[in-house]
């Protein structure tokens, strides 16, 4: 399996600016096919990627694109979806309806099921029952791997132990991780737990909403208020870091995107950046073919430590 995957969050929640839904879906189909051709064989999605009348849209589109693949390519990719522990999903069978709905949208191609976030801070009993229910589905042979998301080191150990008692491995955890991710010390703790317990570390938002892809001399004004407020905070304070990325990219005949992703890889994580265009997929695929040097890693580590303004933490991240 490749050391870089991709995510489909934007497939469900956003349309490309200025394009019709049909044109947008065609762009996504081209992006998906380019990703597969580029060797990106791990795909992360979720049942909550798409709300309101777009409910489940990310999984639906992904299911259509997977179904059109030749069988040998379909077998070679891993599809990991996340199920959201909404308040009404309670009890040991709380995920059953959601799981089978995802299975249908994905046209029966689900390899890994992940708990989207931890409820340990407000309803730990709910999380325990949902985890047990996922184990039941796993034991029925309905999917082959279990993962979690947005869990800190303490809760990660708890889930691992609960699965281990049933003889089920915990395959992965995914958290926000990048050169600008919040709480770098906690990220180090999680990496240590993953290494100790043989859990795969998936890094979501490895490009910090695209900030790490912006050249140091370029200004970007996002269209949404939330992104604009984050960019206004981070763009001025990250110029030195982005200059470092730019210089390493130039020296390697690569892009800043590739450098930022390879920094994640150098820390033993699998980055899962989002893609929306074929050009994104092709650029990301090129990152698989090379690695940053130890000196380049050390420089970026230092620039990251010196970046005092960082991405906001996910409110669902547990301890």
Give the tens place of pLDDT for each residue, 21-65. Answer: 667 788 899 999 999 999 999 999 999 998 666 779 999 999 999
Q: From CA 170, how far away is CA 163, in angstroms rounded?
A: 7
According to the model, what pLDDT value does residue 53 have? 63
Is 204 considered catalytic here?
no
Which residue is catalytic, options 19, 49, 122, 204? 49
Q: Is the pLDDT of residue 188 over 60?
A: yes
Strands ordered across the beta sheet of 42-46: 6-7, 42-46, 78-83, 112-115, 145-149, 170-176, 200-204, 270-271
According to the model, what pLDDT value does residue 20 have? 58
Smallest CA-to-CA distance from 148 within 121, 112, 172 is with 172
Instruction: Delineate the domains of the chain, giving CATH numbers in brackets.
Output: 6-211+255-293 (3.20.20.100)
Cα 178 off chain centre by: 11
According to the model, what pLDDT value does residue 236 have? 92
Cβ atoms of 217 and 271 within 8 Å: the answer is no
What percentage of the chain reaches a pLDDT higher than 70?
Answer: 96
Residue 267: band (very low, low, confident or very high) from pLDDT cuts 50, 70, 90 = very high
Mean per-residue pLDDT of the chain:
93
Q: Is the pLDDT of residue 221 over 80?
A: no
Q: Is the pLDDT of residue 302 over 60?
A: yes
According to the model, what pLDDT value does residue 210 have? 94
Give the tens place of pLDDT for each residue, 141-171. Answer: 999 999 999 999 999 999 999 999 999 999 9
According to the model, what pLDDT value does residue 10 have? 84
Q: What would the mean pLDDT of 127-136 be, rounded to a whole number? A: 98
Q: What would the mean pLDDT of 313-318 be, rounded to a whole number? A: 84
Residue 13: band (very low, low, confident or very high) from pLDDT cuts 50, 70, 90 = low
Give the tens place of pLDDT for each residue, 78-105. Answer: 999 999 999 999 999 999 999 999 999 9
Question: Taking the model in full, what pTM does it have?
Answer: 0.95
Q: Is the pLDDT of residue 285 over 90?
A: yes
């Amino acid at each position: 399996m490749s050391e870089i995957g991709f995510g489909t969050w934007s497939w469900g929640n956003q349309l490309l600016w200025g394009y019709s839904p049909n044109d947008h879906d065609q762009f996504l189909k081209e992006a998906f096919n380019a990703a597969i051709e580029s060797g990106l064989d791990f795909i992360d999605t979720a049942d909550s990627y798409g709300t309101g009348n777009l409910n489940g849209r990310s999984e639906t589109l992904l299911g259509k694109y997977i179904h059109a693949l030749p069988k040998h390519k379909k077998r070679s990719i891993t599809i990991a979806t996340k199920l959201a522990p909404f308040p009404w999903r309670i009890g040991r069978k709380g995920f059953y309806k959601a799981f089978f709905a995802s299975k249908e949208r994905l046209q029966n191609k689900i390899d890994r099921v992940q708990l989207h976030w931890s409820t340990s801070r407000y309803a730990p009993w709910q999380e325990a029952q949902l985890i047990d229910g996922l184990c039941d589905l796993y034991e029925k042979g309905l999917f082959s791997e279990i993962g979690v998301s947005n869990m800190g080191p303490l809760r990660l150990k708890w889930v691992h132990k609960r699965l281990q008692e049933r003889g089920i491995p915990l395959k992965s955890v995914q958290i926000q991780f990048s050169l600008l991710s919040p709480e770098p010390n906690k990220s180090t703790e999680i990496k240590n737990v993953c290494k100790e317990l043989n859990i795969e570390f998936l890094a979501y938002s490895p490009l910090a909403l695209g900030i790490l892809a912006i050249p140091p001399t370029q200004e970007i004004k996002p269209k949404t208020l939330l992104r604009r407020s984050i960019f206004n905070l981070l763009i001025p304070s990250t110029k030195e870091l982005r200059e470092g990325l730019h210089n390493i990219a130039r020296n390697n005949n690569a892009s800043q995107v590739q450098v930022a992703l390879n920094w994640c890889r150098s820390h033993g994580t699998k980055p899962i950046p989002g893609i929306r265009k074929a050009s994104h997929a092709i650029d990301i695929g090129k990152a698989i073919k090379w690695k940053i040097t130890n000196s380049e890693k050390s420089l970026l580590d230092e620039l990251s430590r010196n970046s005092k303004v960082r991405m906001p933490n996910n409110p669902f991240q547990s301890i």
